[in-house]
Structure 1
């Protein structure tokens, strides 16, 4: 059942915008991951075909792996793969997240190559479907295989995503939403030849065009019981192909992503970033203040209250606009 707190939150225009903007990111992820996976398979094959050393089809016999975020004492084959990865990196002077990768798998697993162009914290990810939109967009930015895409538009969407996920109050204005819509339109306009992303663009346009008008749960005059037919409670999302239960679930996904990102950021830094800790405390207070969210996030809140670290869920790490 959808709680009344949910309807109160969705009647806050700024918070409603935050949820709608986050839902667009989820749709971009769904539209992108299949395309990016196919592209990285082609990229992997291209690297092999253009390098006479890699063409020999050798496999790493030394189980080469990173130490932290560094690569030491690689075998000759893995060194050749590293050189190829760097050759196609758009920010060769920046820090590459080698800690994401298992170099011994580079000859046979295309996604291990992809992770070298992505933000840190994705070591256990094995495919694009496990990544969020920003991780996939960072890959598009830092791998020159995607150089045909206007990178300014990609970075704009990444920047908007970071503003959204680091909004302390989890509210954004109508003006911000207009800018966000333009950024999405510019990016997806370049990719409309890809069927999945053309469909994503239509879905996002529909979602942003309707007003999510919210009504509180009605009381049945015959027996005094609240209705459980949530499909009638939110008019706007229904027009966009969603029901109240769907929106509530998407809200939980976004909040969990933000929680995991904040936890990941604070765990990576010693001492932890004060701003990150402040944002984490604010999110914890918000979840505890909402009865329905307190129930959904009970395990996480108990762990936060005890000071125990949360296990990091891959694919939801903080996504910087630069590889670091």
Structure 2
């Protein structure tokens, strides 16, 4: 039953695109982590050594973005923002300030490193689907990125794994279920890796679970924030994800704990709304 429901989802080409793209992000993350962690730690130390003010704690400990803007940051966080912008290679590009927590810039080098457009577009896709044009652009961008880091030992393997993932056919034949939309979004690669993946339903199910788990954790974290602005980011995203999980029996059972947490948040929000109206 679980494999039949997974097969139905994988017969949706745009859902499969979303799953493949998400898996590629995890492949890239694993391969890059040792290199990027070392470089970001060194960069963070250099920033602190070059700018005395950056060593000072946030003046309020509560500076945070509203939407994708830093609204009235304190003097220290404002200076951090200026320094980050000066080191950004594409000044005109969109910077995802909403993905960071300014008071941590002084102590956490990864907070300074957060500028991730594709990841946000993918993980905040409330329909869990991306079109072929998007994934083609995504693939070209990843290729270019991997080529720029060709001196990093892990990148050759990462590049091949990403190409294999984006060309493999994830549709799974299960007895009694027709195979539909079997063509991958991009033609090309044939390898032992590809043929192995086509028979590994359990592995594909694991990848799907990892991506959905990450989305749920992020949405629940935002929804649980006490600040009203955080909740107002996009309440429909969590509701649509909730509906998707409930509509698939295997996912409904797998994420039963998270669905209970969502229900609890909804009850709390209704209660808060009633309290406000009664005042």
TM-score (norm 2): 0.68
Q: What are the equivalent positions in structure 2 for 1:31-110 lying under 5 Å apart? A: 31-44=31-44, 46=46, 67-69=61-63, 88-90=83-85, 97-101=101-105, 103=106, 106=107
| 1:86 positional shift | 6.2
Distance 1:218 1:236, change over 3 A: farther
| 1:160 positional shift | 2.9
Distance 1:299 1:238, change over 3 A: farther
Aligned to 1:23: 23
* Aligned counterpart for 1:209 among listed residues 156, 167, 173: 167
Segments ≥4 residues shifted beyond 6 Å? 48-51, 62-65, 70-73, 92-96
Could you tell me how far apart the structure 1 residues matched to 2:21 and 2:60 are?
36
Q: Is the 8 A contact 2:224 2:265 kept in 1?
A: no
TM-score (norm 1): 0.59
Aligned to 2:212: 255
Could you tell me how far apart the structure 2 residues matched to 1:66 and 1:36 are?
30
| 1:281 positional shift | 0.8
The structure where helix makes up a greater share of residues is: 2
| 1:308 positional shift | 6.8
Aligned to 2:255: 297
Unaligned runs of 5+ in 1: 54-59, 74-78, 107-111, 119-134, 139-157, 220-234, 310-324
Aligned to 1:246: 203
Distance 1:100 1:239, change over 3 A: same
Distance 1:10 1:86, change over 3 A: closer
Give the number of equivalent residue pairs. Answer: 235
Could you tell me how far apart the structure 2 residues matched to 1:72 and 1:45 are?
22
Q: Is the 8 A contact 1:168 1:279 kept in 2?
A: yes
Q: What are the equivalent positions in structure 2 for 1:160-179 lying under 5 Å apart? A: 160-179=118-137
Could you tell me how far apart the structure 2 residues matched to 1:254 and 1:260 are?
10
> CA offsets, 1:111-149, max 9 Å, x none?
x2442x14xxxxxxxxxxxxxxxx4xx2xxxxxxxxxxx
Unaligned runs of 5+ in 2: 65-72, 178-191, 268-279
SS class of match (1:89): helix
Q: Is the 8 A contact 2:171 2:198 kept in 1?
A: no
Q: Is the 8 A contact 1:19 1:251 kept in 2?
A: yes
